[in-house]
């Protein structure tokens, strides 16, 4: 069955795209959740009328993604984590951890946009890809550090600032 997407849907495409999907998937998931409509003459006419506004929306989203990419590329993210004696992390750095760290720097992204092969479970520097829009991707460097060592560095920085002021 062919459907017209009413919203961006990661696994299928973007708003206004025509996709071929299984009948049950369309009837039981996409259509009830108002993600897509069945491709027919009436819906195609509606799509044709909306095409100009869709192009403007896409151009605006792409421009916003390019601006966000410029902000992200300049940022390095340090994530302090608790570390066991053997050097392994207690827990792991996930997509949500990265999103939360970026929110602290006033950058708002969705955790689905952060692409990692697997969660980070050790100290070090890692490259993580963030998909901002259809053809706009940004790579950021994530530095995972020992929480205790990070706390010591903060204290040293504060002491240095205090001594400079005096």
Q: What residues form DSSP beta bridges with 38? A: 3
Give the pLDDT score at 162. Answer: 41
* pLDDT-based confidence at residue 159 (cuts at 50, 70, 90): very low
| Model pLDDT, residue 164 | 54
What does the pLDDT read at residue 150?
57
Q: How confident is the model at residue 155 (pLDDT cuts 50, 70, 90)?
A: very low
Amino acid 151: pLDDT = 56
Mean residue pLDDT across the chain: 84
3-state secondary structure of 132: strand
Task: For residue 150, give the 3-state DSSP assignment.
Answer: helix
Nearest 5 degrees, angle CA 10-CA 14-CA 20?
Answer: 85
Task: Using the Cα atoms of residue 14, residue 116, residue 80 and residue 143 in order, give the sign of their dihedral.
Answer: negative
Instruction: State residue 23's pLDDT score.
Output: 94
Q: Percentage of residues in the chain with pLDDT exceeding 90?
A: 22
pLDDT of residue 136: 85
Res. 69: pLDDT tops 50: yes
pLDDT at position 149 is 67
Q: Is the pLDDT of residue 29 over 70?
A: yes
Identify the three-state secondary structure at position 126. strand
Tokens representing residue 14 in the block: 């973007």
Compute CA distances 126 → 7, 99, 107, 116, whole Å: 33, 15, 19, 10
For residue 130, give every residue at least 6 positions away whose Cβ sits within 8 Å of its Cβ, in sequence order, or none.
Answer: 72, 109, 113, 114, 115, 137, 138, 139, 140
The rounded distance, in Å, linking the Cα atoms of 83 and 121 is 10
Q: Provide mean pLDDT across the span 29-54.
A: 91
Going through the chain in order, the beta strands assigned E by DSSP cover 2-5, 18-20, 36-38, 76-81, 88-93, 114-115, 120-122, 124-133, 136-146
């Amino acid at each position: 069955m062919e459907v017209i997407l009413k919203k961006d849907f990661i696994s299928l495409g973007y708003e206004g795209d025509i996709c071929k999907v299984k009948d049950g998937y369309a009837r039981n998931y996409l259509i009830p959740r108002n993600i897509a409509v069945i491709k027919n003459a009436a819906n195609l006419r509606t799509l044709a009328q909306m095409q100009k506004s869709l192009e403007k929306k896409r151009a605006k989203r792409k421009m916003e993604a390019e601006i966000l990419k410029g902000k992200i590329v300049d940022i390095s993210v340090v994530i302090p984590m608790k570390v066991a004696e053997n050097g392994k992390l207690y827990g792991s750095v996930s997509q949500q951890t990265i999103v939360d760290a970026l929110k602290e720097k006033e950058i708002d992204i969705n955790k689905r946009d952060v692409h990692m092969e697997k969660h980070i479970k050790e100290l070090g520097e890692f490259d993580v890809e963030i998909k901002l829009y259809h053809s706009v991707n940004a790579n950021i460097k994530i530095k995972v550090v020992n929480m205790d060592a990070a706390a010591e560095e903060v204290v040293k920085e504060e002491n240095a600032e205090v001594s400079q002021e005096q």
